[in-house]
Amino acid sequence: MCGIVAYSGSGDALPVILDGLKYLEYRGYDSAGVAILNDGRIETVRAVGKISALEQKLKKQTLKGRLGIGHTRWATHGHPSLENSHPHGTADGRIVAVHNGIIENFNVLKNQLLSEGIAFQSETDTEVLVALIGKYYAGDLEQAVRAALNEVTGTYALAVIARDRPDELVVAKKASPLCIGLGRGEVFAASDALAFIKHTNKAVYLKDGEIATLGPQGLVVKNLQGKKVSYKITELSLDPASIEKGEYPHYMLKEIYEQPRAVQDTLDGRISPQNDGALFAELEKHQEYLIGVNKIVIAACGTSWHAGLVAKYLLEKHARIPVEVDYAAEFRYRYPVLDEKTLVMTISQSGETADTIAAIGEAQALGARVLSIVNMPASTIARDSDMVVYTYAGREIGVASTKAFTTQLAVICLLTVYLGRLRSSMSEEYAAGMLQNLKRVPNEIAKIFGEVEHIKKIAGAFARHSNVLYLGRGVGFPIALEGALKLKEISYIHAEGYPAAEMKHGPIALIDENMPTVVLAFKGRRYEKILGNIMEVKARKGRLIAIASESNDDIDRVADEVIRIPDATESISAVLAVIPLQLLAYYIAVEKGCSVDQPRNLAKSVTVE
Ligand code: M6R
């Protein structure tokens, strides 16, 4: 959370930094700021709110210079105010820095610095770190940053400039992402290469505990002991055009519509030519281990956790492996019982979610091996895991996860077949059937877009409600949870997902004409039971939207609104059913005038505990 950008080169720093910040706004948008060095002075401009507010301020005040840093904030220490906005500087203005992460011992350090007569303007941990760097600064910026970081516990991606070092940028990383971009006569540093990909595709990913000095002497990377270390230049294949919104009003809508392509890309090359097996070349050398596994524990957060719940249903039913699913933050602190025969599976779009990263460490420390399903290559989770299976959703920028989820489900279906066949718990015919159905998913998703006008109308009618219940049975239950999460995060309507049968054990008390219910009523062995639950809602005057399979005609008689998905098996229906739920949440949020891509209080990638 929080995004940082830094630039040093022959060009004008401000436009590059501002443009970069816009690409990082998904990381937080409570406030934003820039600091540019010019003629021996560092000028700082900050604004509360989104980057557009900062741009407005900068129209009245031009900052010129070739070295600068920028920040977009997701508040941790101190509310979103001007004083708490980054960049933060030392009282004498000699050193200025931007930071993403948390300095855990900031209180101890702050008290020490206060006792030495240093005053603070903000409530932030970052200002304490900057003051500490200032304390150690005697002309060698890298040395001062290193001295300060050696006293710090916590996490950081940090970019620092000094008034009397006009060509020098010092950056450091520990457990928060930081990437350096090497251009021609210019260098960049950012929380995400998205911020500079228009300028260069040559990137260096710093490792934890490394400090880099970027300047005329090139790039020098050291560890916290001051020893030079080698680095690797990676050529990024990210297409700058793929990160634009194009004709769409929001990234979320664009990403919903990208799902047929994203799922197809994720399936490509992973189904055997005879259609009877799933192919994962990346798992080949782990086959013996995977055969011997006696339990899978899945750890993830948010939407990725919902994908984990879907995996439990599929892996237990079709591959016959016991599966537990944990919130990553709970897993890491609950002393899980694991051993070398436990496969811990993590699922993450960003590959940078702090709790999921910590879960991997915990699992490995307890002797388990970790297989991660990740969308972002070169991410921490991809690096830390013993086995990695990528989803190919492409960049997901909207805060509400959409295409990442469906591609995770595609990988989970493939893994179910892969493990089922590997462990001889699934027949060739059964595998072939599942894979045949899976291959149809991209086309079937595209068909659901034909329902969009109908969904818009429903959204118009339901946007006024304050509470919505989502119900599903079996593999429909995690999809109900996901539908509820989508609605609450972008439209601020309170929504709850429940297994439909649980409704009678409490939530039914909430149902009246003001509490609509969304029911997943697709084909499968629980369909009749779901119809029963629908009747229970209707008997209490509840309004009802059903997501139903095309051939489920009887649903029209009981539901107020029906959104159709193509007929499919129960597992595939679950994948398809999430599409109308994403669209419903999207159009309700639009109807309410909400900030769809940047919902309040959220950030795309949750890099703090
Ligand atoms: O990047 P990850 O998949 O690890 O992120 C996990 C959650 O933070 C994420 O899914 C979040 O819940 C989304 N905002 C949901 O739309």
Alpha carbon distance 534, 120 (integer Å): 59
How far is ligand 1, taken at its centre, from the CA of residue 302, in Å? 5
Whole-number pLDDT of residue 603: 81
**Which residues does ligand 1 sit against, CB inside 6 Å?**
301-304, 348-350, 353, 356, 399-401, 485, 489, 605-606
Q: Is 301 labeled as catalytic in the residue annotation?
A: no
Is the pLDDT at 534 greater than 90? The verdict is no
557-572 per-position pLDDT tens digit: 889 999 999 999 999 9
CATH code given to domain 450-595: 3.40.50.10490
pLDDT digits (tens, 9 = 90+) for 484-507: 999 999 999 999 999 998 988 988
Q: What is the C-alpha to C-alpha distance for residues 300 and 350, in angstroms, rounded to an integer?
A: 11
Q: Give the nearest ligand 1 atom to 356 CA.
A: 4
- Cβ contact 409:574 at 8 Å: yes
> Is pLDDT above 90 for 202?
yes
Q: What is the mean pLDDT of residues 447-476?
A: 95
- The predicted model gives 393-401 an average pLDDT of 93
Rounded alpha-carbon distances, angstroms, from residue 216 to 3, 167, 187: 25, 7, 10
Interaxial angle between packed helices 259-267 and 403-422, expressed in degrees from 0 to 180 and rounded to the nearest 10: 20
CATH superfamily of 245-439: Glucose-6-phosphate isomerase like protein; domain 1 (3.40.50.10490)
Provide, rounded to the nearest whole percent, the portion of the chain with pLDDT above 90: 79
Compute the distance from residue 276 Cα to the ligand 1 centre, in Å: 33
The Cα 330–Cα 27 span in angstroms is 23
pLDDT at residue 242, as a whole number: 76
Q: Tell me 154's DSSP state.
A: B
CA of 489 to the centre of ligand 1 (A): 11
Which atom of ligand 1 is nearest to 605's Cα?
1
pLDDT mean across residues, the chain = 93
Q: So what's the pLDDT on residue 509?
A: 86
CATH annotation of 3-243: 3.60.20.10
Cβ burial of 600 (10 Å; 0-12, 13-18, 19+) is exposed
Average pLDDT score over residue span 124-137: 96
Q: Which of 522, 531, 500 is nearest to 570 (CA)?
A: 522
Neighbouring CB atoms inside 10 A of 539's CB total 10
- Stretch(es) of the chain classified as CATH 3.40.50.10490: 245-439, 450-595
Q: What is the pTM of this model?
A: 0.86
Give the whole-angstrom CA distance, residue 502 versus residue 551.
27
Nearest CA to ligand 1 atom 14: 400
Q: Can you list the pairs that 534-538 forms with residues at least 24 positions away whose Cβ atoms lie under 8 Å?
A: 534/558, 534/559, 536/503, 536/504, 536/508, 537/503, 537/508, 537/511
On the question of pLDDT at 334 being above 80, the answer is yes
Residue 279 has a pLDDT of: 96
Active site (annotated) includes residue 604: yes
For residue 238, what pLDDT band results from cuts at 50, 70 and 90? confident
Q: What is the pLDDT of residues 502-533, one digit of tens each?
A: 988 988 888 888 899 999 998 777 778 888 88
Q: Please give the distance of CA 538 from its chain centroid, rounded to a whole number.
A: 37
Q: How large is the average pLDDT for residues 125-130? A: 95
- 604 CA closest ligand 1 atom index: 14
- Per-residue confidence (pLDDT) for residue 288, from 0 to 100: 96
**How many angstroms is it from 81 CA to the middle of ligand 1?**
26
Quick check: 155 and 176 in contact, CB under 8 A?
A: yes
Quote the pLDDT of residue 538.
85
pLDDT digits (tens, 9 = 90+) for 336-365: 999 999 999 999 999 999 999 999 999 999
Cα separation, 533 vs 132, whole angstroms: 61
239 pLDDT higher than 80: no
Site to probe by mutation for ligand 1, drawn from 349, 403, 487 as the one with most ligand atoms within 8 Å of Cβ, is 349
Catalytic residue (choose from 135, 174, 403, 604) = 604
pLDDT higher than 80, residue 378: no
- Residue of 303, 326, 405, 604 with the most ligand 1 atoms within 8 Å of its CB, for mutation: 303
Give the pLDDT score at 203: 95
Q: Of the residues 331, 353, 405, which should be mutated to test ligand 1's pocket, given the most ligand atoms within 8 Å of the CB?
A: 353
Rounded-to-integer distance, Cα 512 and Cα 356, Å: 39
Tokens standing for 262? 């994203």
Strand partners, 157: 100, 173
CA distance 564 to 580: 8
Q: Tell me, in angstroms, the distance from the centre of ligand 1 to residue 393's CA.
A: 14
CA distance 170 to 158: 8
Mean pLDDT of 231-250: 86
Residue 247 has a CB neighbour count (10 Å cut-off) of: 8
Ligand 1, atom 9: nearest CA belongs to which residue? 302
What would the pLDDT profile of 151-166 be if each residue is shown by its tens digit?
999 999 999 999 999 9
pLDDT of residue 388 exceeding 80, the answer is yes
> Per-residue pLDDT tens for 61-114?
889 999 999 999 988 777 888 898 999 999 999 999 999 999 999 999 999 999
Domain with CATH 3.60.20.10 in the chain: 3-243
**Ligand 1 centroid to 256 CA: how many Å?**
15
